[in-house]
A and B are shown apart, each in its own frame.
Chain A
Amino acid sequence: MHHPVISPVREPLVQGRKSYHQITEDICAPTEKAPNLAWTAGFLLSVAIAAFGVACILLTIWNGIGEWNLNRTIGWGWDITNFVWWIGIGHAGTLISAILLLFRQKWRTGVNRAAEAMTIFAVICAGLFPLIHMGRIWLAFFIFPYPNTRGPLWVNFNSPLLWDVFAISTYFTVSLLFWYTGLVPDFATVRDRAKGVRKKIYSVLAMGWTGAAKHWQRHESLSLVLAGLATPLVLSVHTIVSFDFATSVIPGWHTTIFPPYFVAGAIFSGFAMVLTLMIITRKVLGLEEYITVGHIESMNKIIVLTGSIVGVAYLTELFIAWYSGYIYEQFAFYNRALGPYWWSYFGMMTCNVISPQFFWSKKLRRNIAFTFVLSIFINLGMWFERFVIIVTSLHRDYLPSSWSMYAPTWVEVGIFVGTIGIFFVLFLIFVRVAPVVAIAEIKHVLRSSGDQYTGYDADPKYKEYYESVKSGEHAASHDQH
């Protein structure tokens, strides 16, 4: 039935000659033992930062958004910048869990669980910003079309801002369902190892999963269709976010390139955040044999692809601004690059266009420390991108008498930093209570991708060949088997 796949070119995805049982042991371990010092310190720090952020949010709600430095010209500042930044980060999780599933990329199994968790937590952080920006957050339910006593007076279904409401709430719901459905069999694994109160809790979380053949068949069918639904969904979400800008008449926003440009940027920034998180997680939880250097290299390849798409989009924007012959558009781009906010444009160009190009080098793609530093640069660069698009486009109005400048108050900075705290609090709780790597999926790919089955360490001849491929000496591609 099964014959080993000898593939010296494809790197093994699971290292350390794991048995099925060893996989269970390794991945369940972080949920079963007391947290180590690194986790505890990180958690306390995140809680402190999150608490400060919540205080800033409450201050904003109590006093109104006068706590921020927005003005009549610049109506969107750090709030919407942060919203788009967080939503973009979420996109990588869905790309890994859905699009790579459809493309049958087996390496996704090492990182999909944590990346999907990242998506959910990032969308939670993102959703906060439009809500508090409303000012009167207690009336937030007005954004939903519900029968009311004012007519009923309905919401404007033609408005991209309302499309956003539907896109983001759908995205959150579908991501959560997809993630949880994948977690159910793994919760059952934890349940069957647990005792006492933990067993009771995990019994409820596992929803009575038994691993019956028919249930697995339906589970597979469900995952595939959910992936098929999530794929256009994730593309639609950032497309609709870009419509918030593109359907307006602000120079620098009113362009047809926005949807693909935003989607590529979202995936780019999301992978940077996945790398930031995974590089820490694999180290702290000792999962280096499941989230291997090969996984990091694969993600870096996506970084270089999407980073280059983003770079081409920036240059296209510049060219079209000049080629349009429309002076307002030309001024908007001249002002972005050389106006008072030149530093944000410079930061964006350096971090997003130049830095990913380093990843054409295989050595750097496989260098963990370098990848970590670069992922931080990309996270920063993508924040700058949203700031450039929002603030620089707004601050020079059609009427020079309305021209204005904007810098955040400490409350705005506090809310942004606070959401990073909230994000890490949620993520750190997640790594303690749920299996960070999808156990059943890793077991499923073990026989085709475990190092003892790929011929990598079984056959000395292949090991030598494999080492030469890894070091880049052997450039030739080789068929499987």
Chain B
Amino acid sequence: MSKKVLYGLYNDEETLFSAITKAKQSGLDIMDVYTPFPVHGLDDVMELSESRLHIAGFVYGALGTLTALGVMTWVFTRDWPIIFGGKPYFSFPAFVPITFELTVLFAAVGMVLSFYIVCGLGPFAANNPVLDDRITDDKFCIAFDTTGMSQIDLEKYSSFFDNTGVAEVNTKII
């Protein structure tokens, strides 16, 4: 289903910040904010919750630790025990390097895949609609979803951009 998006483009992050604050105060429902680079403090102004990606990363890493230790222990104590250099079958210090590597591998691969999945990004998402080509260059964008809005609401949203230092206001159906 296509959306009718009303968006304003700003030339720098300071005007963007004050505009977002104003929109929040006026009780407007922001669809999303798009920026050409990560702007620090934006998540606070937009009241975004903290990303939980690092928690997932910890879980993936722990999975890697257990996999490595589990497989090596099973192979050397149960499946095919061999004595190497007179050491015990379960020689923990020798298992540390591979355990470490698999911890890192699982955490990194798991987190990256999770990142693409939760953001809905990937080669399959190549045709994601782009509101304006200049957002990845030098424009900062606030977007409102105005699909099926009443005339009164629409005017309220359009007039919001007045006096916020906006450079351009457009509508696009995506």
**Using a CB–CB distance below 8 Å, which chain A residues touch chain B?**
1-2, 19-21, 24, 145, 151-154, 156-158, 160, 162-163, 166-167, 170, 173-174, 177-178, 181, 184-185, 188-189, 191-193, 200, 203-204, 206-222, 224-226, 229-230, 232-233, 236, 240, 243, 439-441, 443-444, 447
Contact = CB atoms under 8 A, between A and B. Distances in A.
A158 B94 contact: yes
Nearest to A200: B126
B108 A174 contact: yes
Interface string B12-33: 0110011000000000000011
A188 B136 contact: yes
Given A24-B138, A163-B98, A218-B51, A213 B46 contact: yes
Nearest to A446: B37
Contacts of B79: 152, 154
Contacts of A224: 54
Contacts of A218: 51, 53, 115, 118-119
B127 A213 contact: no
A213 B115 contact: no
Contacts of A222: 53, 111-112, 115
Contact of B111 (A185, A226, A240): A226
Given A184-B121, A208-B121, A209-B121, A440 B97 contact: no
A70 to B, nearest CB: 26
Given A184-B121, A217-B48, A220-B38, A225 B33 contact: no
A443 B36 contact: yes
Given A157-B75, A221-B53, A213 B108 contact: no
Contacts of B76: 157
Given A170-B105, A207-B121, A218-B51, A19 B84 contact: no
Nearest to B113: A177
B14 A206 contact: no
Nearest to A441: B37
Contacts of A193: 133, 137
Contact of B112 (A152, A170, A181, A447): A181
A207 B116 contact: yes
Contact of A145 (B71, B115, B127, B129): B71
Contacts of A189: 36, 136-137
Given A158-B87, A215-B119, A240 B97 contact: yes
Q: Which 7 residue pairs across A and B have the least CB separation, nearest first?
A: A208-B125, A208-B128, A20-B138, A440-B37, A192-B133, A163-B97, A158-B94
A444 B109 contact: no
Nearest to A236: B100
A447 B37 CA distance: 12
B134 A216 contact: no
Contacts of A208: 120-122, 125-128
Contact of B57 (A151, A200, A225): A225
